[in-house]
Chain A
Amino acid sequence: MPAATKDPYLKRDHVAGHSDVDRATKERLISQVMADSRFGDYLYGCYECGICVAACPSARFYDFSPRRIAQAAARRDVDLMFQQMQEDIWECSQCFSCLRCPRGNNPGGVITIMREVAVKEGLHSAKDALAGYSRIIYKIMSTGTQVSPDMLQPDAFPDWGPEVKDVSENLDLWRRMLPPETMHTTTTGWQVADRTLVELYVIWLETGALDMIAQVDQGIHMILEEIMEEKLEEEGIEI
C-alpha cells in the first residue's frame, strides 16, 4: 500500500505532481507567498464550503476552483500550492467575486500574490501565460496608459465585428473628432505629459517592478530599460 505523507490531511505524494522539482525549491517559493504582507489579510483559514466557487466565473469554464486555492493555502500545503502556481492561477479572472467568502477570505488576492511570485521567479506558468502579452507590458511601462486606440486592429480582434475595421481605418480622423482635448492621441489613451512619464519610470525603477519583466521577457526588458535610462538621463535624474 503506498505510504501517505506526513501531511495531516493524508494526501498522497503523487497527487500534486511536479515531483521533478525539489521540496526546498517549492518551500522557498511558497514562503515568499506567505511572507507577503497582504497574505495574512487575505486568508483566515477555510471552511471548504465552496461559496467562492459558486461566485467564480473561471470555475464555470475551467477546471479551476478558488476553494482549492484557499484550502491548500490554509493547510500550508506546499506541494499543492506549487502545483497551483504552475497549473491554475492564470485561469483566475481577478474579479474578486470570491470576496463573498463567509470566512472573510480573498482567494483572488492570494492568487495575485502567487502570480507575482511566479513572475518574479520566472516560472514556466508565468512565461506561458504572458506569451503574446509583451506589447501590453511595453505600453503600460513606457507610455503611461495601458491600452491605446491603435491596438484596435481587425487582425488582433477578428471576433469583435466589422466596427473594429471602421475604427482602425478612420483612427486619426475619429480621434480628432473627440471634443476632450487630451484624447486626440492614437498611441496612448490620452496625452500624457513628458514629466509625468519620467515620474512613472522612476516608480518602476525604484520599486523593482522593471526587474520583474526581465524574468518573463528579456527582450522587452532590455528595450524598456533603454527607453527609461535615456529619458531619465535627459532629465538629469540618477537612480
Chain B
Amino acid sequence: MTDSAVAVILGKKEKFERTPDRRQEDFHDRLFELEADGELVVQRVTGDFVEVPTKYGIIKKIQKSNLWHHKSCGQCGHIPGYSTSIFWIMRKLGYEYVDPEDQTSCTAWNYYASATSNQAAQAAVAVRNFAAAFETGNFPLIHCGTSYGHYKEVRAELLHDAALRQQVTKVLGRLGKRLVLPEEIVHYSEWLYAVRDEIRARAVRDVSGIAVTVHPACHYYKLVEGDAIFDPDVYHGQRTAAVSGLVMALGADLRNYSTFFDCCGFGFRHILVQRDFTRSFSTLRKIEVMKEEADPDVVLTHDTGCVTALDKSQFAAQAHERNVGVPVMSEAQFAALAMGAHPFKVAQLHWHSTNYRPLLEKMGIDWRAAWAEFQEEAGRLKSGEQEFLTWADVDA
C-alpha cells in the first residue's frame, strides 16, 4: 500500500462517521418523551458540565460537581484504594460530593454469576438507587463498570417496555419513591476523562517514563456500546478513550498490545467458584501478551472485576514460571499517585497482590518511608489514640 493510501484510510478513521443506518437511537428522545407523558422523572445534569463524544457521535454531558457516588462492592470490599482514590481526586480538585449510605449494590455481579434474580428486580434495584440520588439533588456517578453497563441495559428496557415500567413503578410506589432516570448514566472513568486536564495540571509526579497498558472493561464499552466515550484523538476513535485518554493527558508512555479487546476472564461466577478459568484467561490472554508485546510498568483498568482478575491471577501463574509479574490498579489510583497521593493511605496498595514497589520507585515514591508512615498511623489507631484515619490525616 502506498503512503497516500494509508493516509486516506487514517484520514477516514479520524472522522469515524457511522453511516446513519448503523447509528444507534439516541435514548434521550424516548427519555424526554416519557417524562413529558408524566411516566417518569428525569434527573437533569446541572451546574458545570463537560460534553464528551460517544461511539456514534451522540454527545454526553458529564456533570463536574455535586455527585452522588454509587459505590462498587468489589472496590469498597476488596480494593478500597480504588474508591478512596476517586474520592481523593474529587476533593483535591475541589468538587462537592455525597458518599451515601442509602445506596445498595447494583446486584449485577450476582445476577451475571448466578441469575438468581429477574428483570423487574434488577430494574427496581437500579431505579431505587437513582431515586435516592435524585432526592439529595446530587447527580449519580457510577464507580463500577458492571453497574454502569447493567444500568444502561436497564434504562433501555424501561424506556421500551411499558409492562416492565408499570411493574417497577408499582414496586417503587411501595417504597414511597417515583421512577427516576438520570439524563446521563455516567461512569467515574468518564468523569476522570472529562477533568483530565485539571488532573494533569495538579500532577506533581513525572510519569513520562512509566510504560502503561490499558485494559478496557467489557461492561463499560461492549454493553450498550453507543454510550461509551470514543474520542477521535484517542486511537483514532476506534477504541474507547476511557482510561487511555487520561493516561495520555498525564503524559505516560501508553503502549499497545494485540489482545486489547479481550475480556479479563473475571467471569462473575468463575472468579468465585471456577477460578482456574479466570487465572488462565487473565494471565495467558492478557498479562503475558502485554508483557511480551509492550513490557508495561503497570496495567491500568477501570472496573472492579478487571482489577481483581488481572491482579489476583498472577500469583499462581508465577509459581508456574509464566511470564507475569506486573502491577495492576485502576487509573484512578494511578492518577491519584501522579497527583501526589499517599500510596498506602490513599491508593491502599497493600490490598493488591502484584508487586507495585518497582513502579512506585520508578515514579519517585519512597515506598519504605510511606509504609513506615502508614504503620505509625496504624500504631495510633491500635493504641486507641484515634479510632479512624481521616481525610485530614491523609492530607497532612
- Show the binding face of A for B, using Cβ within 8 Å: 36-38, 55, 57-58, 60-62, 90, 93-97, 99-100, 112, 115-116, 118-119, 126, 129-133, 136-137, 140, 144-149, 151-152, 157, 159-161, 163-164, 166-167, 173-184, 188-193, 195-197, 199-200, 202-204, 206-209, 212-213, 216, 237
Contacts and interface: CB of A to CB of B under 8 A. Distances in A.
Given A58-B277, A173-B382, A189-B74, A147 B101 contact: no
B52 interface: no
Residue among B102, B116, B312 with the most chain A CB within 10 A? B116
B285 interface: yes
B116 to A, nearest CB: 5
Nearest to B393: A179
A212 B171 contact: no
A160 B353 contact: yes
A200 B225 CA distance: 29
Contacts of A149: 77-78, 80
A132 B119 contact: no
Interface stretch (B156-164, B196-204, B287-295): B156-164
Given A60-B285, A145-B104, A136 B272 contact: yes
Interface of B: 71-78, 80, 83-84, 87-88, 99-105, 107, 109-121, 124-125, 128, 132, 149, 157, 161, 163-164, 167, 170-171, 174-175, 218-219, 222-223, 225, 261-263, 265-270, 272-273, 275, 277, 279-281, 285, 312, 315-316, 345-346, 348, 350-353, 374, 377-378, 381-382, 387-391, 393-394
B141 to A, nearest CB: 14
Given A173-B382, A182-B71, A182-B99, A37 B163 contact: yes
Contacts of A61: 277, 280-281
A160 B76 CA distance: 18
A185 to B, nearest CB: 8
B102 A193 contact: yes
A115 B80 contact: no
B280 A189 contact: no
Given A61-B281, A132-B273, A203-B128, A147 B263 contact: no
B30 to A, nearest CB: 14
A93 B219 contact: no
B121 A203 contact: yes
A163 B285 contact: no
Contacts of A160: 312, 315, 353
A43 to B, nearest CB: 15
10 contacts: A38-B119, A96-B219, A96-B223, A133-B114, A177-B381, A178-B348, A192-B101, A193-B101, A208-B118, A216-B116
A97 B263 contact: yes
Contacts of A178: 80, 84, 348, 389
Given A163-B352, A182-B101, 13 more contacts: A37-B161, A93-B267, A94-B268, A95-B219, A95-B222, A99-B225, A116-B118, A119-B116, A145-B76, A178-B348, A195-B102, A200-B125, A203-B125
Interface majority SS on A: helix, strand, loop or mixed?
A: helix
Contacts of B101: 182, 190-193, 196
A96 B218 CA distance: 7
B306 to A, nearest CB: 10
Given A145-B77, A146-B74, A93 B350 contact: no
A181 B99 contact: yes
Contacts of A164: 353
B21 to A, nearest CB: 12
Of all A-B residue pairs in the complex, the 5 with the closest CB atoms, nearest first, are A115-B115, A161-B315, A189-B73, A189-B76, A94-B112
Contacts of B102: 192-193, 195-196
Contact of A100 (B115, B132, B222): B222
B273 A133 contact: yes
Contacts of B268: 93-94
A62 B278 CA distance: 12
Nearest to B117: A209
Contacts of A152: 77-78
A202 B225 contact: no
Contacts of B280: 61
Contacts of A180: 83-84, 87, 99
Contacts of B83: 180, 183
A96 B391 CA distance: 38
A164 B377 CA distance: 21
